Amino acid sequence: NVQDIDIAVSQPRKVAYLEQTVRAMEQGTLKIRVRSLENEQALARIALSQQVTNKLLVASLLLNFGLSGAATAVPRAIWLAGAGLFGAQAAGGALSIKIFDKKAARYESKDFGDAAIEAKASLAEGDEAA
């Protein structure tokens, strides 16, 4: 049988892989990578808020240049327009954080276990009545 031959040929390789993995676990050299959705969402939110912070920082810098009398080579209106542009981008970023939080809240369930138990109980009562 072809399948038996394939298993007989590939089995030593699988055993060697398992042995290598167990040895790495014993020696402490195995690095286990765990991905969690909560961590990835938190990192995405941090990245969004960092973008907003950076844009606000640039907006305040441009506003300071525009309001100070030191920058005479570039007209004041250009500095103020740049500050307004970065301020508007920061406001858009803050709005995107709110949207991100709303999407995240939609997928969170605070009382998932209790709601599932209650739903099963109500279904069971409906079946008994029928």
Average pLDDT over residues 5-16: 90
Residue 62 in tokens: 């441009």
Q: What is the DSSP string of 51-115?
A: HHHHHHHHHHHHHHHHHSSS--SS-HHHHHHHHHHHHHHHHHHHHHHHHHHHHHHHH--TTHHHH
Our CA angle for 42, 108, 125, nearest 5°, is: 165
pTM of the predicted structure, to 2 decimals = 0.56
43 vs 72, residue with greater confidence: 43
pLDDT in tens, 80-116: 999 999 999 999 999 999 999 999 888 776 655 555 5
Residue 101 in tokens: 């939080």
Q: What is the pLDDT of residue 25?
A: 87
Q: What is the pLDDT of residue 28?
A: 85
pLDDT in tens, 12-54: 999 999 999 999 988 888 877 767 888 889 999 999 999 999 9
